[in-house]
Amino acid sequence: MEHAVRYAGERHWEVLPGAWLEQHEGTLRCSCAAEQCDAPGAHPRTPLWEAQATGSAAAARAMWRDRPQASVLLPTGRSFDVLEVPEAAGCLALARMERMGLSLGPVSATPTGRMMFFVLPGGAAKAPVLLRKCGWAAGRLDLAVHGEGQYVPAPPTRMGPRGCVQWVRRPTAANRWLPDAEELLPPLAYACGQSR
């Protein structure tokens, strides 16, 4: 609950309580009870999730009070979009961007080996054109974009038995202003191309 309330109250990000992990016959399984859940503990509980998201800290507190074990999901395309790459490419790109002095926003990492770079809303729509300008066809790189109508799991959401989503670069006052996808896509695409 604390994390969801902080994201809504301090960052003005919309939040959504998702599924969670629970013990079942000695193993962890997703609260959705699907045998082959694609994202155990890290997906919306209902198809109407977009209408349930809130940017109010008080509403977030009330939602998690009812289900304190719920994961924290962040709808994309509202306050931010997300550029997602493999962890190896993300680390390479992050080091390069820091050397270049680029202004970075928050960056998270999943226990499934992915890194997520938070950018201004609209980045997902720009990505195909920006990638073509860099000389890459959109489907040739292991680079996913999350924009309107999508979501990403937020720290400390636990994703299956592997572990929790964590911040690589936490949201702080210093990175309140998010970068444009145009600034981050070239180094991310380069890193993805190098790590293929």
81-118 pLDDT, tens digit per residue, is: 999 999 999 999 999 999 999 999 999 999 999 999 99
Q: Which of 11-20, 25-34, 120-129 has the lowest mean pLDDT?
A: 25-34
Burial of residue 25 (number of CB atoms within 10 Å: 0-12, 13-18, 19+): exposed
Instruction: Please report where in the chains the tokens 């680029």 appear, as a residue.
Output: 102
What is the reported pLDDT for 66? 85
Q: How confident is the model at residue 57 (pLDDT cuts 50, 70, 90)?
A: very high
The Cα angle at residue 152 between residues 149 and 66, in degrees rounded to 5? 95
Q: Is the pLDDT of residue 3 over 90?
A: yes
What is the reported pLDDT for 134? 84
Q: How confident is the model at residue 196 (pLDDT cuts 50, 70, 90)?
A: low
The distance between the two most distant Cα atoms of the chain, rounded to a whole number of Å, is 52
| Amino acid identity at 83 | L
What DSSP designation does 34 have? -
The answer to whether the pTM exceeds 0.75 is yes
Range 174-192 average pLDDT: 93
What DSSP designation does 13 have? -
